[in-house]
């Protein structure tokens, strides 16, 4: 099991903003003795353009955008490219070479980078997100992919990018009512499961299992996880009342698909809880027999 991380992603932030470098620093400090870490390379412009418009990239470079939740940090384009590169690196690390004998853990990888991405649309900054990391990695690999979004906020940007795309199925479990106010209904290849605040482990896991069971059997080559941990019981923004064991069970259910899996950090704003919750998800992902 490899975790992708760069200390560069800790070099920006603004006082009081919930998407802080401290949350990721605490997670790294907790996880660094438990897992193997590798570094990312920034995503290439040609890969970003598989998802985002040229105008969007130019606006990021020149800080010509406005979103109340997404500050105009100096060189945010560079940080966003590095985070997108983390998603690409984790996706590549999860895919076994043809014919290679691998264990379950060798077919899983996770990107512990920031900024997050699942609210970013083709031409839009939104909700702490500047580039859509998961979408860029999925488009670059070009495989039939199941995207599982477990962030407590609906990934409206990811849905906007892949709606109607036959190569991708998008599944999101999220709190409603909550930002961004989307994801009430399923559409085409995008399956949405809104949940009430503080629904708890049992309701969440029953819904997650039902979502997986409803998918048509077979056909996927890869699973991508938009791994937000803001559903945790002490999260200040979007708690669903979940415990750490819920993330372990989510990982185990995903591992049962017996496919390569890569995860990318989205939300999760209780800094002290983020590392342990990431660990539980990863332990669950690595639980299936080789």
- Pick 2-285's CATH classification: 3.30.70.20, 3.30.465.10, 3.40.800.20, 3.40.50.970: 3.40.800.20
Please give the model's pTM, rounded to 2 decimal places: 0.96
Strand ranges of the sheet holding 36-38, from the earlier edge strand across to the other edge: 36-38, 2-4, 108-111, 261-265, 222-227, 145-149, 168-175, 190-195
> How far apart (Å, rounded) are the C-alpha atoms in residues 211 and 206?
9
pLDDT of residue 6: 98
Instruction: Report residue 97's pLDDT band, with 50, 70 and 90 as the boundaries.
Output: low
Question: C-alpha distances in angstroms, 96 versus 91, 133, 137, 139, 194?
Answer: 10, 21, 16, 18, 34
Residue 187 pairs with which residues in a beta bridge? 190
pLDDT of the residue at 188: 97
The pLDDT of residue 105: 64
Q: Average pLDDT in the 83-91 region?
A: 98
Q: Residue 216's pLDDT is what?
A: 79
Q: Is the pLDDT of residue 67 over 90?
A: yes
Whether 1 and 105 have beta carbons less than 8 Å apart is answered as: yes
Give me the pLDDT at residue 96, please. 62
Q: What is the mean pLDDT of residues 156-173?
A: 98
The Cα–Cα gap between 196 and 118 comes to 21
Which one of the listed residues 52, 119, 154, 174 is annotated catalytic?
119
Mean pLDDT of 228-237: 98
Region 112-135: mean pLDDT is: 98
- Asked about 119 being catalytic, the answer comes back as yes
């Amino acid at each position: 099991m490899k975790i992708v991380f760069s200390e560069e992603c800790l070099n920006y932030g603004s006082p009081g903003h919930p998407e802080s470098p401290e949350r990721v620093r605490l997670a790294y400090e907790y996880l660094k003795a438990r897992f193997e870490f590798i570094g990312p390379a920034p995503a290439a412009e040609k890969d970003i353009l598989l998802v985002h418009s040229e105008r969007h990239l130019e606006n990021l470079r020149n800080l010509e955008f406005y979103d109340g939740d997404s500050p105009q940090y100096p060189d945010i384009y560079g940080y966003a490219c590095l985070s997108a590169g983390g998603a690409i690196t984790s996706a590549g690390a999860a895919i076994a070479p043809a014919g290679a004998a691998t264990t379950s853990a060798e077919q899983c990888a996770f990107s512990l980078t920031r900024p997050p991405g699942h609210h970013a649309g083709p031409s839009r900054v939104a909700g702490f997100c500047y580039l859509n990391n998961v979408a860029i990695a999925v488009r670059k690999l070009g495989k039939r992919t199941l995207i599982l979004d477990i962030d407590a906020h609906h990934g409206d940007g990811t849905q906007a990018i892949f709606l109607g795309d036959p190569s991708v199925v998008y599944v999101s479990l999220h709190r409603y009512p909550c930002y961004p106010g989307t994801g009430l209904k399923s559409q085409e290849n995008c399956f949405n499961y809104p949940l009430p605040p503080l629904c708890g482990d049992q309701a969440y896991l029953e819904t997650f299992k039902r979502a997986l069971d409803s998918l048509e059997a077979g056909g996927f080559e890869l699973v991508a996880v938009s791994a937000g941990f803001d559903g945790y019981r002490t999260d200040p923004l979007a708690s669903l009342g979940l415990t750490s064991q819920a993330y372990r069970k989510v990982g185990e259910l995903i591992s049962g698909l017996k496919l390569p899996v890569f995860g990318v950090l989205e939300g999760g704003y209780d800094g002290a809880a983020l590392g342990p919750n990431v660990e539980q998800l990863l332990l669950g992902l690595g639980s299936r027999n080789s």
